[in-house]
Chains A and B, each alone.
Chain A
Protein backbone atom coordinates (compact mmCIF):
# COMPACT_ATOMS: atom_id res chain seq x y z
CA UNK A 1 0.00 0.00 0.00
CA UNK A 2 1.40 3.32 -0.97
CA UNK A 3 1.94 5.75 1.86
CA UNK A 4 0.39 9.09 1.14
CA UNK A 5 2.60 11.94 2.13
CA UNK A 6 0.41 14.93 2.79
CA UNK A 7 1.79 18.33 2.22
CA UNK A 8 2.44 20.30 5.41
CA UNK A 9 0.11 23.23 5.00
CA UNK A 10 1.70 25.02 7.95
CA UNK A 11 5.08 25.12 6.26
CA UNK A 12 6.34 28.67 6.44
CA UNK A 13 8.10 30.56 3.70
CA UNK A 14 11.53 32.01 4.27
CA UNK A 15 10.07 35.47 4.81
CA UNK A 16 7.77 34.16 7.51
CA UNK A 17 10.53 32.22 9.18
CA UNK A 18 12.65 35.36 9.42
CA UNK A 19 9.81 36.87 11.51
CA UNK A 20 10.65 40.37 10.30
CA UNK A 21 7.65 40.94 8.04
CA UNK A 22 5.02 39.70 10.49
CA UNK A 23 6.68 41.65 13.29
CA UNK A 24 6.54 44.84 11.25
CA UNK A 25 2.88 44.16 10.47
CA UNK A 26 2.24 43.77 14.20
CA UNK A 27 4.10 46.97 14.95
CA UNK A 28 1.91 48.78 12.43
CA UNK A 29 -1.17 47.63 14.29
CA UNK A 30 0.11 48.79 17.67
CA UNK A 31 1.29 52.18 16.41
CA UNK A 32 -2.10 52.75 14.83
CA UNK A 33 -3.78 52.00 18.13
CA UNK A 34 -1.36 54.31 19.89
CA UNK A 35 -2.78 57.30 18.06
CA UNK A 36 -6.29 55.90 17.84
CA UNK A 37 -9.35 56.67 19.91
CA UNK A 38 -9.07 55.76 23.59
CA UNK A 39 -11.67 53.62 25.28
CA UNK A 40 -11.04 54.92 28.80
CA UNK A 41 -13.85 56.57 30.75
CA UNK A 42 -12.25 58.56 33.56
CA UNK A 43 -14.75 57.43 36.14
CA UNK A 44 -15.36 59.93 38.88
CA UNK A 45 -15.36 62.80 36.37
CA UNK A 46 -16.89 60.97 33.42
CA UNK A 47 -19.52 58.34 33.73
CA UNK A 48 -20.56 55.56 31.44
CA UNK A 49 -23.95 56.08 29.82
CA UNK A 50 -26.30 53.37 30.92
CA UNK A 51 -29.51 52.26 29.32
CA UNK A 52 -32.72 53.85 30.64
CA UNK A 53 -33.82 50.30 31.40
CA UNK A 54 -30.82 49.77 33.65
CA UNK A 55 -31.83 48.09 36.91
CA UNK A 56 -30.21 50.14 39.64
CA UNK A 57 -31.44 51.84 42.78
CA UNK A 58 -35.16 51.50 43.60
CA UNK A 59 -37.61 54.34 43.79
CA UNK A 60 -41.09 54.36 45.38
CA UNK A 61 -43.21 56.46 43.07
CA UNK A 62 -45.98 58.88 43.94
CA UNK A 63 -49.22 59.16 42.01
CA UNK A 64 -50.49 62.23 40.18
CA UNK A 65 -51.90 63.64 43.44
CA UNK A 66 -48.54 63.38 45.11
CA UNK A 67 -49.68 60.47 47.29
CA UNK A 68 -47.52 57.43 47.93
CA UNK A 69 -48.58 54.69 45.58
CA UNK A 70 -47.39 51.91 47.84
CA UNK A 71 -50.19 50.37 49.84
CA UNK A 72 -48.04 47.96 51.81
CA UNK A 73 -49.44 44.82 50.19
CA UNK A 74 -46.07 43.05 50.59
CA UNK A 75 -46.21 41.47 47.11
CA UNK A 76 -42.69 42.71 46.38
CA UNK A 77 -41.42 41.29 49.66
CA UNK A 78 -42.91 37.97 48.66
CA UNK A 79 -41.53 38.12 45.12
CA UNK A 80 -38.02 39.13 46.17
CA UNK A 81 -35.72 36.13 45.57
CA UNK A 82 -32.98 37.64 47.72
CA UNK A 83 -35.12 38.52 50.72
CA UNK A 84 -33.89 42.05 50.49
CA UNK A 85 -37.19 43.83 51.17
CA UNK A 86 -38.73 44.23 54.63
CA UNK A 87 -42.19 45.78 55.01
CA UNK A 88 -44.33 46.53 58.03
CA UNK A 89 -47.84 47.47 56.95
CA UNK A 90 -50.22 49.52 59.08
CA UNK A 91 -53.45 51.48 58.94
CA UNK A 92 -53.08 55.06 57.84
CA UNK A 93 -53.54 57.45 60.82
CA UNK A 94 -56.47 59.85 60.27
CA UNK A 95 -54.31 62.99 60.12
CA UNK A 96 -52.17 61.45 57.31
CA UNK A 97 -55.17 60.26 55.30
CA UNK A 98 -54.60 62.76 52.52
CA UNK A 99 -51.10 61.35 51.85
CA UNK A 100 -52.28 57.89 50.87
CA UNK A 101 -54.79 56.58 48.32
CA UNK A 102 -56.10 53.84 50.69
CA UNK A 103 -56.26 53.18 54.41
CA UNK A 104 -53.34 50.77 54.30
CA UNK A 105 -49.74 51.86 53.90
CA UNK A 106 -46.20 50.63 54.48
CA UNK A 107 -45.09 51.96 57.84
CA UNK A 108 -41.60 50.55 57.39
CA UNK A 109 -40.16 49.84 53.97
CA UNK A 110 -36.49 48.77 53.96
CA UNK A 111 -34.39 47.46 51.10
CA UNK A 112 -31.00 45.96 51.90
CA UNK A 113 -28.87 47.04 48.96
CA UNK A 114 -26.24 44.44 49.85
CA UNK A 115 -28.78 41.63 49.49
CA UNK A 116 -30.59 43.00 46.47
CA UNK A 117 -29.64 41.32 43.21
CA UNK A 118 -31.36 43.96 41.04
CA UNK A 119 -33.48 41.37 39.24
CA UNK A 120 -36.55 43.61 38.96
CA UNK A 121 -39.02 41.04 40.30
CA UNK A 122 -40.42 43.63 42.73
CA UNK A 123 -41.29 45.87 39.79
CA UNK A 124 -43.14 43.03 38.14
CA UNK A 125 -44.93 41.99 41.31
CA UNK A 126 -46.17 45.44 42.30
CA UNK A 127 -49.93 45.78 41.62
CA UNK A 128 -49.88 49.55 42.22
CA UNK A 129 -46.92 50.39 39.93
CA UNK A 130 -45.23 51.88 42.99
CA UNK A 131 -41.70 50.46 42.87
CA UNK A 132 -39.31 50.90 39.96
CA UNK A 133 -35.62 50.41 39.43
CA UNK A 134 -33.68 53.48 38.22
CA UNK A 135 -30.38 53.81 36.32
CA UNK A 136 -28.55 55.00 39.43
CA UNK A 137 -25.75 52.54 40.27
CA UNK A 138 -23.40 54.08 42.83
CA UNK A 139 -24.06 52.45 46.20
CA UNK A 140 -20.73 53.01 47.95
CA UNK A 141 -20.88 53.49 51.70
CA UNK A 142 -18.78 52.68 54.72
CA UNK A 143 -21.01 50.37 56.73
CA UNK A 144 -23.55 47.63 56.16
CA UNK A 145 -26.19 49.52 58.17
CA UNK A 146 -26.00 52.53 55.90
CA UNK A 147 -26.73 50.34 52.90
CA UNK A 148 -30.13 49.34 54.26
CA UNK A 149 -32.20 52.03 52.62
CA UNK A 150 -35.35 53.05 54.47
CA UNK A 151 -38.62 54.34 53.15
CA UNK A 152 -37.66 57.98 53.33
CA UNK A 153 -34.58 57.40 51.20
CA UNK A 154 -36.50 55.37 48.66
CA UNK A 155 -39.61 57.45 48.23
CA UNK A 156 -39.72 59.92 45.40
CA UNK A 157 -39.59 63.52 46.60
CA UNK A 158 -42.48 65.73 45.59
CA UNK A 159 -41.53 67.37 42.32
CA UNK A 160 -38.50 65.46 41.19
CA UNK A 161 -36.61 62.22 40.76
CA UNK A 162 -34.76 61.20 43.91
CA UNK A 163 -31.78 59.35 42.60
CA UNK A 164 -29.69 62.43 42.00
CA UNK A 165 -29.68 63.68 45.55
CA UNK A 166 -29.60 62.07 48.94
Chain B
Protein backbone atom coordinates (compact mmCIF):
# COMPACT_ATOMS: atom_id res chain seq x y z
CA UNK B 1 0.00 0.00 0.00
CA UNK B 2 2.74 2.45 0.96
CA UNK B 3 4.61 1.38 -2.13
CA UNK B 4 1.67 2.34 -4.31
CA UNK B 5 1.42 5.68 -2.51
CA UNK B 6 5.12 6.26 -3.12
CA UNK B 7 4.65 5.46 -6.78
CA UNK B 8 1.77 7.94 -7.04
CA UNK B 9 3.83 10.65 -5.34
CA UNK B 10 6.84 9.89 -7.52
CA UNK B 11 4.84 10.05 -10.74
CA UNK B 12 3.01 13.17 -9.59
CA UNK B 13 6.23 15.01 -8.83
CA UNK B 14 7.84 13.84 -12.05
CA UNK B 15 4.74 14.75 -14.02
CA UNK B 16 4.65 18.29 -12.67
CA UNK B 17 8.38 18.70 -13.29
CA UNK B 18 7.99 17.35 -16.82
CA UNK B 19 5.04 19.63 -17.53
CA UNK B 20 6.93 22.66 -16.24
CA UNK B 21 10.01 21.67 -18.22
CA UNK B 22 8.13 21.16 -21.47
CA UNK B 23 6.13 24.37 -21.09
CA UNK B 24 9.29 26.35 -20.36
CA UNK B 25 11.09 24.77 -23.27
CA UNK B 26 8.15 25.47 -25.59
CA UNK B 27 7.79 29.09 -24.50
CA UNK B 28 11.50 29.66 -24.99
CA UNK B 29 11.15 27.98 -28.36
CA UNK B 30 8.84 30.85 -29.32
CA UNK B 31 11.57 33.30 -28.37
CA UNK B 32 14.15 31.19 -30.18
CA UNK B 33 11.98 31.17 -33.28
CA UNK B 34 11.80 34.94 -33.32
CA UNK B 35 15.51 35.23 -32.66
CA UNK B 36 16.43 32.72 -35.37
CA UNK B 37 14.07 34.43 -37.80
CA UNK B 38 15.67 37.78 -37.06
CA UNK B 39 19.21 36.52 -37.36
CA UNK B 40 18.51 34.83 -40.66
CA UNK B 41 16.99 38.07 -41.95
CA UNK B 42 20.00 40.12 -40.74
CA UNK B 43 18.06 41.56 -37.83
CA UNK B 44 18.67 41.40 -34.08
CA UNK B 45 15.27 40.32 -32.81
CA UNK B 46 13.51 40.95 -29.51
CA UNK B 47 16.04 42.31 -27.01
CA UNK B 48 14.10 44.75 -24.86
CA UNK B 49 12.39 42.50 -22.30
CA UNK B 50 15.07 41.60 -19.79
CA UNK B 51 18.73 40.90 -20.57
CA UNK B 52 19.07 39.80 -24.22
CA UNK B 53 15.27 39.66 -24.38
CA UNK B 54 15.18 36.56 -22.20
CA UNK B 55 12.00 37.64 -20.41
CA UNK B 56 10.15 37.93 -23.71
CA UNK B 57 8.10 34.72 -23.22
CA UNK B 58 6.92 36.08 -19.87
CA UNK B 59 5.97 39.39 -21.46
CA UNK B 60 4.15 37.53 -24.22
CA UNK B 61 2.25 35.47 -21.64
CA UNK B 62 1.17 38.57 -19.71
CA UNK B 63 0.13 40.18 -22.95
CA UNK B 64 -1.94 37.19 -24.04
CA UNK B 65 -3.74 37.04 -20.71
CA UNK B 66 -4.53 40.75 -20.58
CA UNK B 67 -5.70 41.11 -24.17
CA UNK B 68 -9.39 41.60 -24.80
CA UNK B 69 -11.05 38.34 -25.62
CA UNK B 70 -13.43 38.29 -28.55
CA UNK B 71 -15.85 35.42 -29.06
CA UNK B 72 -17.69 35.95 -32.34
CA UNK B 73 -21.47 35.71 -32.15
CA UNK B 74 -21.94 32.87 -34.60
CA UNK B 75 -19.43 30.38 -33.27
CA UNK B 76 -20.32 27.09 -31.67
CA UNK B 77 -19.36 28.25 -28.23
CA UNK B 78 -18.68 24.96 -26.46
CA UNK B 79 -16.39 23.61 -29.17
CA UNK B 80 -14.87 27.01 -29.79
CA UNK B 81 -13.72 27.21 -26.17
CA UNK B 82 -12.70 23.57 -26.02
CA UNK B 83 -10.56 23.54 -29.17
CA UNK B 84 -7.38 25.23 -27.87
CA UNK B 85 -7.28 22.86 -24.90
CA UNK B 86 -7.80 19.86 -27.16
CA UNK B 87 -4.95 21.12 -29.31
CA UNK B 88 -2.56 21.60 -26.38
CA UNK B 89 -3.14 18.47 -24.31
CA UNK B 90 -2.21 15.60 -26.71
CA UNK B 91 1.31 16.93 -27.40
CA UNK B 92 1.83 17.27 -23.66
CA UNK B 93 0.70 13.67 -23.18
CA UNK B 94 3.25 12.60 -25.79
CA UNK B 95 6.00 13.95 -23.56
CA UNK B 96 5.08 11.34 -20.96
CA UNK B 97 6.18 8.49 -23.21
CA UNK B 98 9.62 9.92 -24.02
CA UNK B 99 12.45 8.47 -21.92
CA UNK B 100 14.14 11.64 -20.66
CA UNK B 101 16.86 9.61 -19.00
CA UNK B 102 17.53 6.15 -17.68
CA UNK B 103 17.35 6.18 -13.90
CA UNK B 104 18.19 8.62 -11.19
CA UNK B 105 19.13 7.80 -7.59
CA UNK B 106 17.79 10.29 -5.09
CA UNK B 107 17.58 9.79 -1.31
CA UNK B 108 18.64 6.16 -1.67
CA UNK B 109 15.80 5.37 -4.04
CA UNK B 110 15.95 4.67 -7.75
CA UNK B 111 13.52 6.59 -9.92
CA UNK B 112 12.81 6.06 -13.57
CA UNK B 113 13.17 9.18 -15.72
CA UNK B 114 10.30 8.16 -17.92
CA UNK B 115 6.70 8.79 -17.02
CA UNK B 116 5.41 5.54 -18.49
CA UNK B 117 7.53 2.81 -20.07
CA UNK B 118 4.93 1.57 -22.49
CA UNK B 119 5.72 -1.58 -24.40
CA UNK B 120 3.84 0.04 -27.30
CA UNK B 121 5.57 3.42 -26.94
CA UNK B 122 5.76 4.26 -30.63
CA UNK B 123 2.14 3.31 -31.27
CA UNK B 124 1.06 5.47 -28.34
CA UNK B 125 3.03 8.26 -29.92
CA UNK B 126 1.35 8.00 -33.29
CA UNK B 127 -2.07 7.62 -31.68
CA UNK B 128 -1.82 10.78 -29.62
CA UNK B 129 -0.02 12.63 -32.36
CA UNK B 130 -3.07 11.91 -34.50
CA UNK B 131 -5.45 13.13 -31.79
CA UNK B 132 -3.52 16.38 -31.70
CA UNK B 133 -5.15 17.45 -34.95
CA UNK B 134 -8.64 17.33 -33.43
CA UNK B 135 -8.06 20.62 -31.64
CA UNK B 136 -7.12 22.34 -34.88
CA UNK B 137 -10.00 20.71 -36.73
CA UNK B 138 -12.62 21.51 -34.10
CA UNK B 139 -11.28 25.02 -33.76
CA UNK B 140 -11.57 25.54 -37.49
CA UNK B 141 -15.02 24.06 -37.67
CA UNK B 142 -16.48 25.77 -34.59
CA UNK B 143 -15.28 29.20 -35.73
CA UNK B 144 -18.03 29.19 -38.39
CA UNK B 145 -15.79 30.99 -40.85
CA UNK B 146 -14.80 29.76 -44.28
CA UNK B 147 -11.10 30.46 -43.82
CA UNK B 148 -10.99 28.72 -40.46
CA UNK B 149 -12.88 25.78 -41.92
CA UNK B 150 -10.42 25.53 -44.79
CA UNK B 151 -7.56 25.59 -42.30
CA UNK B 152 -9.13 22.85 -40.23
CA UNK B 153 -9.83 20.68 -43.27
CA UNK B 154 -6.31 21.11 -44.57
CA UNK B 155 -4.88 20.23 -41.18
CA UNK B 156 -6.87 17.01 -40.95
CA UNK B 157 -6.19 15.81 -44.48
CA UNK B 158 -2.51 16.69 -44.20
CA UNK B 159 -2.25 14.89 -40.87
CA UNK B 160 -3.82 11.72 -42.28
CA UNK B 161 -1.55 11.76 -45.33
CA UNK B 162 1.69 12.28 -43.48
CA UNK B 163 0.93 10.11 -40.48
CA UNK B 164 1.00 7.10 -42.80
CA UNK B 165 4.42 8.00 -44.11
CA UNK B 166 5.71 8.75 -40.62
CA UNK B 167 4.52 5.46 -39.22
CA UNK B 168 5.87 3.53 -42.17
CA UNK B 169 9.25 5.24 -41.96
CA UNK B 170 9.54 4.20 -38.32
CA UNK B 171 8.96 0.54 -39.20
CA UNK B 172 12.62 0.27 -40.22
CA UNK B 173 13.58 1.04 -36.62
CA UNK B 174 11.13 -1.55 -35.36
CA UNK B 175 12.63 -4.22 -37.61
CA UNK B 176 16.11 -3.43 -36.32
CA UNK B 177 15.24 -2.95 -32.66
CA UNK B 178 12.64 -5.69 -32.44
CA UNK B 179 10.65 -3.69 -29.91
CA UNK B 180 8.10 -0.87 -29.70
CA UNK B 181 9.29 0.33 -26.31
CA UNK B 182 11.10 3.64 -26.59
CA UNK B 183 13.25 2.82 -23.58
CA UNK B 184 14.54 -0.37 -25.16
CA UNK B 185 15.16 1.45 -28.44
CA UNK B 186 17.34 3.97 -26.60
CA UNK B 187 19.17 1.25 -24.68
CA UNK B 188 20.11 -0.43 -27.95
CA UNK B 189 21.85 2.73 -29.19
CA UNK B 190 24.49 2.77 -26.46
CA UNK B 191 27.42 3.83 -28.63
CA UNK B 192 27.74 6.55 -31.22
CA UNK B 193 28.06 4.02 -34.04
CA UNK B 194 24.90 2.22 -32.96
CA UNK B 195 22.68 5.24 -33.38
CA UNK B 196 19.97 4.07 -35.74
CA UNK B 197 20.48 7.03 -38.06
CA UNK B 198 23.61 5.37 -39.53
CA UNK B 199 21.64 2.30 -40.47
CA UNK B 200 18.40 4.12 -41.31
CA UNK B 201 19.44 7.30 -43.15
CA UNK B 202 16.63 7.16 -45.70
CA UNK B 203 14.14 6.16 -43.03
CA UNK B 204 15.31 9.11 -40.96
CA UNK B 205 14.85 11.45 -43.90
CA UNK B 206 11.28 10.27 -44.50
CA UNK B 207 10.50 10.38 -40.79
CA UNK B 208 11.87 13.89 -40.47
CA UNK B 209 9.91 15.23 -43.43
CA UNK B 210 6.73 13.59 -42.17
CA UNK B 211 7.37 15.06 -38.70
CA UNK B 212 7.60 18.52 -40.24
CA UNK B 213 4.22 17.96 -41.84
CA UNK B 214 2.78 16.54 -38.63
CA UNK B 215 3.77 19.68 -36.74
CA UNK B 216 2.46 21.81 -39.63
CA UNK B 217 5.83 23.54 -39.89
CA UNK B 218 6.99 25.70 -42.72
CA UNK B 219 7.10 23.89 -46.01
CA UNK B 220 3.89 22.21 -44.85
CA UNK B 221 2.16 24.89 -42.80
CA UNK B 222 -0.90 25.03 -45.02
CA UNK B 223 -3.44 24.91 -42.16
CA UNK B 224 -2.43 28.46 -41.30
CA UNK B 225 -1.28 29.69 -44.70
CA UNK B 226 -1.71 33.36 -43.93
CA UNK B 227 -1.68 34.70 -47.45
CA UNK B 228 -4.63 32.53 -48.46
CA UNK B 229 -6.48 31.83 -45.22
CA UNK B 230 -5.91 34.95 -43.09
CA UNK B 231 -4.83 32.94 -40.04
CA UNK B 232 -6.18 29.53 -40.95
CA UNK B 233 -7.82 27.67 -38.10
CA UNK B 234 -7.02 30.35 -35.52
CA UNK B 235 -8.39 33.31 -37.50
CA UNK B 236 -11.25 33.85 -35.05
CA UNK B 237 -9.23 33.31 -31.90
CA UNK B 238 -7.85 36.02 -29.69
CA UNK B 239 -6.20 36.46 -26.32
CA UNK B 240 -4.90 33.36 -24.51
CA UNK B 241 -6.96 30.98 -26.68
CA UNK B 242 -4.82 32.01 -29.60
CA UNK B 243 -1.80 31.81 -27.31
CA UNK B 244 -2.65 28.24 -26.44
CA UNK B 245 -2.83 27.27 -30.12
CA UNK B 246 0.52 28.91 -30.61
CA UNK B 247 2.12 27.19 -27.62
CA UNK B 248 0.67 23.83 -28.61
CA UNK B 249 2.42 24.14 -31.97
CA UNK B 250 5.74 24.61 -30.16
CA UNK B 251 5.04 21.79 -27.72
CA UNK B 252 4.30 19.55 -30.67
CA UNK B 253 7.55 20.61 -32.29
CA UNK B 254 9.50 19.97 -29.09
CA UNK B 255 8.01 16.53 -28.63
CA UNK B 256 8.50 15.61 -32.29
CA UNK B 257 12.16 16.64 -32.02
CA UNK B 258 12.54 14.59 -28.86
CA UNK B 259 11.05 11.59 -30.65
CA UNK B 260 13.43 12.00 -33.59
CA UNK B 261 16.37 12.17 -31.17
CA UNK B 262 15.08 9.14 -29.30
CA UNK B 263 14.51 6.98 -32.35
CA UNK B 264 17.50 7.90 -34.48
CA UNK B 265 20.04 9.74 -32.33
CA UNK B 266 20.33 7.66 -29.20
CA UNK B 267 17.92 9.58 -26.96
CA UNK B 268 19.59 10.30 -23.64
CA UNK B 269 22.74 8.37 -24.52
CA UNK B 270 25.80 10.59 -24.33
CA UNK B 271 28.37 9.81 -27.04
CA UNK B 272 31.56 8.18 -25.68
CA UNK B 273 30.15 7.91 -22.15
CA UNK B 274 28.40 4.76 -21.12
CA UNK B 275 25.50 5.81 -18.92
CA UNK B 276 24.45 2.27 -18.20
CA UNK B 277 25.01 0.83 -14.73
CA UNK B 278 26.28 4.12 -13.36
CA UNK B 279 23.20 5.47 -11.66
CA UNK B 280 24.92 8.50 -10.16
CA UNK B 281 23.08 11.79 -10.25
CA UNK B 282 25.64 13.50 -12.46
CA UNK B 283 25.50 10.80 -15.11
CA UNK B 284 21.71 10.85 -15.04
CA UNK B 285 21.60 14.62 -15.39
CA UNK B 286 24.15 14.39 -18.19
CA UNK B 287 21.76 12.03 -19.96
CA UNK B 288 18.88 14.48 -19.62
CA UNK B 289 21.14 17.27 -20.84
CA UNK B 290 22.14 15.18 -23.85
CA UNK B 291 18.52 14.65 -24.83
CA UNK B 292 17.73 18.33 -24.32
CA UNK B 293 20.67 19.30 -26.52
CA UNK B 294 19.62 16.88 -29.26
CA UNK B 295 16.01 18.06 -29.03
CA UNK B 296 17.09 21.71 -29.18
CA UNK B 297 19.14 20.95 -32.25
CA UNK B 298 16.16 19.50 -34.09
CA UNK B 299 13.92 22.34 -32.95
CA UNK B 300 16.54 24.63 -34.45
CA UNK B 301 16.54 22.65 -37.70
CA UNK B 302 12.75 22.99 -37.83
CA UNK B 303 13.13 26.76 -37.50
CA UNK B 304 16.03 26.85 -39.94
CA UNK B 305 13.85 25.16 -42.54
CA UNK B 306 10.95 27.45 -41.77
CA UNK B 307 12.98 30.57 -42.50
CA UNK B 308 14.56 29.06 -45.59
CA UNK B 309 11.78 27.43 -47.55
CA UNK B 310 8.63 28.73 -49.16
CA UNK B 311 5.36 26.90 -48.69
CA UNK B 312 4.23 24.03 -50.88
CA UNK B 313 1.09 24.38 -52.92
CA UNK B 314 -1.68 22.19 -51.58
CA UNK B 315 -1.74 19.77 -54.50
CA UNK B 316 2.05 19.49 -54.34
CA UNK B 317 1.77 18.68 -50.66
CA UNK B 318 -0.74 15.92 -51.31
CA UNK B 319 1.20 14.55 -54.26
CA UNK B 320 4.39 14.46 -52.25
CA UNK B 321 2.70 12.78 -49.30
CA UNK B 322 0.89 10.08 -51.22
CA UNK B 323 3.08 9.53 -54.26
CA UNK B 324 6.57 10.01 -52.89
CA UNK B 325 6.87 9.79 -49.13
CA UNK B 326 4.53 6.87 -48.58
CA UNK B 327 5.96 4.79 -51.44
CA UNK B 328 9.50 5.72 -50.47
CA UNK B 329 8.89 4.73 -46.87
CA UNK B 330 7.40 1.39 -47.95
CA UNK B 331 10.34 0.77 -50.25
CA UNK B 332 12.72 1.54 -47.41
CA UNK B 333 10.92 -0.92 -45.12
CA UNK B 334 11.37 -3.63 -47.76
CA UNK B 335 15.02 -2.70 -48.28
CA UNK B 336 15.60 -2.83 -44.52
CA UNK B 337 13.98 -6.23 -44.31
CA UNK B 338 16.13 -7.52 -47.16
CA UNK B 339 19.27 -6.07 -45.57
CA UNK B 340 18.47 -7.67 -42.24
CA UNK B 341 17.98 -11.07 -43.92
CA UNK B 342 20.78 -10.96 -46.46
CA UNK B 343 23.54 -9.03 -44.69
CA UNK B 344 24.32 -10.35 -41.20
CA UNK B 345 26.61 -7.41 -40.42
CA UNK B 346 23.63 -5.03 -40.74
CA UNK B 347 22.01 -6.38 -37.58
CA UNK B 348 25.17 -6.70 -35.46
CA UNK B 349 26.86 -3.47 -36.72
CA UNK B 350 30.25 -2.62 -35.22
Contact = CB atoms under 8 A, between A and B. Distances in A.
Interface stretch (B144-152, B302-310, B333-341): B302-310
Given A26-B309, A29-B308, A30-B307, A40 B39 contact: no
A39 B308 contact: no
Nearest to B307: A30
Contacts of B40: 30-31, 33-34
Given A33-B39, A34-B36, A27 B44 contact: no
B308 A38 contact: no
B308 A40 contact: no
Q: Secondary structure at chain B's binding surface: helix, strand, loop or mixed?
A: loop
A8 interface: no
B67 interface: no
B42 A38 contact: yes
Interface in A15-47: 23, 26-27, 29-31, 33-40, 42
A40 B43 contact: yes
A31 B304 contact: yes
Interface string B306-341: 011100000000000000000000000000000000
B36 A39 contact: no
A103 B41 CA distance: 60
Of A23, A34, A40, chain B has the most CB atoms within 10 Å of the CB of A34
Contacts, number: 35
Interface in B25-41: 36, 39-41
Nearest to A28: B308
A38 B44 contact: yes
A29 B43 CA distance: 15
Contact of A30 (B43, B44, B308): B308
B166 to A, nearest CB: 18
Given A27-B304, A34-B36, A39 B309 contact: no
Contacts of B304: 27, 30-31
A40 B307 CA distance: 18
A114 to B, nearest CB: 29
A36 B38 CA distance: 11
A144 B309 CA distance: 46
A27 B305 contact: yes
A31 B304 CA distance: 8
Contacts of B36: 34
Contacts of B307: 30
B151 to A, nearest CB: 25
A23 B40 CA distance: 15
A82 B175 CA distance: 79
B330 to A, nearest CB: 17
Most buried by A among B36, B43, B308: B308
19 contacts: A23-B308, A23-B309, A26-B308, A26-B309, A27-B305, A29-B308, A30-B304, A30-B307, A30-B308, A34-B36, A34-B40, A35-B39, A36-B42, A37-B42, A38-B43, A39-B43, A40-B42, A40-B44, A42-B44
Interface of B: 36, 39-44, 304-305, 307-309
